[in-house]
Amino acid sequence: MPGVDRVTGIGGTAQNAAVAFVTTRWSVVLAAQDISPAADEALEKLCRAYWWPLYSFVRRQGYPPEEAQDLTQGFFARLLQRRDLDEVRREKGRLRSYLLTSLKHFIANARRAAKTIKRGEGPALVPFGELLSRERADAEPADTLSADRIYERRWALTLLEQVLARLGDDYRLAGNAALFEQLQQILTDEPDRPSQAEIAKKLGMTENAVTQAFHRFRQRYRELLREEIAHTVAAPGDIQDELRHLIAVLRE
């Protein structure tokens, strides 16, 4: 698949496509000068979506699983109660940078005060068992990466997982679950991916029909990827920069 990035499935010629920047969860949070139900709900959804990268950062600091879970849970509990939007502006409105900077401050303060984060503080955004299962299944060689780099990579991977999940939901609702399962295998240029001819034979389609279906699949994937990125930046002009950053992180 010439011209398609191995880790994101995004073709180079499509990266400058215009994206409609509508009100996103993050823009709702940024626009809220005071705590509001809409901003609270938006921030909680974002916290739930990006729990895993932040938990992974805390684990890389040397904390055992239960303590890392308590620290991450405590961080989100404080964040949902008290937002520092001046800090957001210093981080250029990027949710990725804002959350990591805020978490570092939270951990440093907890260490200085020798605080023990109370287990169960705040809403249980992600079950502890789910975190442990994912950690055991994660084959990434984390011992060679810094805590910041682990966070960046898992942030990017989490975003791509969300995109594929949304795309899969679209296909399943349309009754095309089998087609989705096959097409997602050829989104990137992994050497063991099936050919379009093999997919056509397996699904009882013509190869031309598979080619057209994959074109639509990839186009929708690009749209959803940009929508997900839009949820994490403050302005439409930041989407392309954030996309380039995520691709660079995953290529390392």
Q: What would the DSSP string read from start to end of 120-150?
A: T-S---S-HHHHHHHHHH----GGGS-HHHH
Choose one of 138, 171, 206: the last residue of a domain: 138
Average pLDDT of span 44-52: 80
Q: Which pLDDT belongs to residue 148?
A: 93
Choose one of 89, 109, 138: the last residue of a domain: 138
Determine phi and psi for 101, rounding to 5 degrees: -60, -45
> How big is the chain, counted in residues?
252
Q: Which pLDDT belongs to residue 112?
A: 66
In the beta sheet, which residues pair with residue 4?
Answer: 11
For residues 75 and 31, state if they share a domain: yes
Q: What angle do CA 227, 131, 78 make, to 5 degrees?
A: 70
Q: Which pLDDT belongs to residue 119?
A: 47
For residues 242 and 158, state if they share a domain: yes
- Say which residue, 238 or 22, is predicted with more confidence: 238
pLDDT at 115 over 80: no
Which range of 54-68, 140-154, 194-208 scores highest in mean pLDDT? It is 194-208
pLDDT at 149 over 70: yes
For residues 29 and 130, state if they share a domain: yes
| Per-residue CA distances from 103 to 7, 55, 95, 118, 149 (Å) | 27, 10, 12, 17, 15
Q: Which pLDDT belongs to residue 67?
A: 86
Which segment of 5-14, 76-85, 137-146, 220-229 scores lowest on mean pLDDT? 5-14
For residues 5 and 45, state if they share a domain: no
Using CA atoms, how far apart are residues 205 and 207, in angstroms rounded to an integer?
6
For residues 134 and 31, state if they share a domain: yes
For residues 183 and 133, state if they share a domain: no
Biggest CA–CA distance in the chain, Å, is 66
pLDDT at 121 over 80: no
For residues 232 and 162, state if they share a domain: yes
- Under DSSP, is residue 252 helix (H, G, I), strand (E, B) or coil? coil
For residues 27 and 10, state if they share a domain: no
Closest CA to 227 of 153, 170, 152, 159: 159
Total structural domains in the chain? Answer: 2
For residues 91 and 104, state if they share a domain: yes
Q: What is the domain extent for residue 193?
A: 1-17+147-252
User: Band of the pLDDT at 105, cuts 50, 70, 90?
Assistant: confident
Across all residues in the chain, what is the average pLDDT? 78
For residues 152 and 49, state if they share a domain: no
For residues 160 and 249, state if they share a domain: yes
Percent of the chain with pLDDT over 70: 69
Choose one of 138, 172, 205: the last residue of a domain: 138
Residues whose CB is less than 8 angstroms from the CB of residue 44 and which lie 6 or more positions away in sequence, other chains included: 80, 123, 125
For residues 84 and 127, state if they share a domain: yes
pTM score of the predicted model:
0.75
Q: Which pLDDT belongs to residue 123?
A: 52
